[in-house]
A = this chain, B = another copy of it.
Amino acid sequence: MLNSITFPLSQTAAELAPFRVMKILGEAKALQAQGRDIIHMEIGEPDFPSPDCVAEAAYQATKQGLTHYTPSLGLPALRQKLAEFYGYFYHAEVNPKQIVITPGSSSALQLVLTALLNPGDKVLMPDPTYPCNRQFVHLLHAQSVAVPVDEHSHYQLTLSLLEKHWQPQVRLVMVASPANPTGTLIEAQELQAMAHFLAARGAYLLVDEIYQGLVYQRPAESLLADKTLPKNVIVINSFSKFFGMTGWRLGWCVVPSALVEVLDRLAQNLYLSAPTPSQYGALAVLEPNALVELEERRQQFQARRDRLYQAMQQAGFAPKILPQGAFYLYWDISRWSQDSETFCRQLLLQQGVALTPGTDFGLQQGHTHVRLAYTNDRIEEAVERIAAFLASLS
């Protein structure tokens, strides 16, 4: 009866690009189910489970009956504790009232973009960048302007790139430090200069610090330590990566005071509040004991990064730069392929190594790049297999 009737999707949903990484992950799992040995370097999730203290603290709270909604802006004690953490870890003075706890940093991103963007507004971001950034912009009927960046600016936007690509319709610029998929940083001075450039033009600077803490051979930093920062800077952060709490779905943002009220209203409507057990768990992960464990993990990631970079160098396909943070390495494959999706699929089929095609991160350079995530420990083996695959191509 209903075959003749169509129920079309919204245009934005129909146009929404899938994550290529999920497709590769699906194919990798299917091969595993057939008995193949797969090395997973596609997923941006630490292989470590959450520190034990998180499960313990969440349990202590929930078995006492602390299972109700929290305020939409987050548990006051967690906002306070995060402010203190900024103080002793990053020497940054942050007012707890400007910290908004969210169910994952995805929700923080959504709150902020929904608060700021009208249809047709433009958002400047680098290519490559985290895929959700342009998707959120698209869902709000705004327009992302992707600026190609390369190894010369450490795959990051700079003040001079902003000057060059500036348009009056730009409401917001999105950067990340450390960045996904490149693992590179932006120096604080550059960020400050960008913030002032944008403030003078009535635009916001959104800084994704989701991989904050996972920085190698130099101290981790927060832009918020700068007391002269203009009031157009928004910082997004997460308990997923450094704190290893992916499945608990907890993030936060630090925003100018003027935005708190509207983010509260949006949070009430979009999700009510972040998960209560996760918020109690996060209180524990900010304690000194947990931080010792997290520092050991950070050192493991650093050792993996070094092993990956050296193994690739020795095998004759060194990446252009050594990443400084996160757990990613972005690799130019243009010597071997102009089609990263086919490259990844063949590498997976022939050698059982799963990587993410660059097309997830940007369409201008994505076809000639792939992302390696050192989220597991089979580094040298993976590089040997990749080398064998490259040999088969020539």
Residues of A bordering B, CB below 8 Å: 1-2, 5-7, 9-14, 16-19, 22, 45, 49-50, 52, 54-56, 58-59, 62-63, 65-70, 72, 103-104, 106-107, 110, 114-119, 121, 131-132, 135-136, 139-141, 199-200, 202, 204, 230-232, 244-249, 256, 258, 262, 265-266, 268-278
Contacts and interface: CB of A to CB of B under 8 A. Distances in A.
A133 B110 CA distance: 18
B103 A13 contact: no
Q: 5 tightest A-B contacts by CB?
A: A247-B276, A49-B65, A55-B62, A50-B67, A59-B59
A18 B115 contact: no
Contact of A54 (B67, B119, B274): B67
A55 B45 contact: no
A69 B18 contact: no
Contacts of A17: 265
A270 B67 contact: no
A69 B55 contact: no
A50 B68 CA distance: 8
Contacts of A54: 62, 67
Contact of A231 (B2, B131, B273): B2
A245 B275 CA distance: 10
Contacts of A270: 106, 110
A19 B261 CA distance: 12
Contact of A11 (B6, B52, B67, B118): B118
A119 B266 CA distance: 19
Given A55-B59, A104-B271, A118 B10 contact: yes
Contacts of A230: 1-2
A11 B120 CA distance: 12
Contact of A67 (B49, B141, B199): B49
A202 B6 contact: yes
A19 B262 CA distance: 12
A106 B272 contact: yes
Contacts of A10: 114-118, 121, 140
A274 to B, nearest CB: 7
A199 B7 CA distance: 9
A49 to B, nearest CB: 3
Given A16-B266, A202-B7, A272-B104, A52 B45 contact: no
A181 B140 CA distance: 30
22 contacts: A2-B199, A9-B116, A10-B116, A13-B115, A13-B262, A45-B68, A49-B65, A49-B66, A50-B67, A54-B67, A55-B62, A58-B59, A67-B245, A67-B246, A68-B246, A68-B247, A106-B271, A114-B139, A247-B275, A247-B276, A248-B275, A248-B276
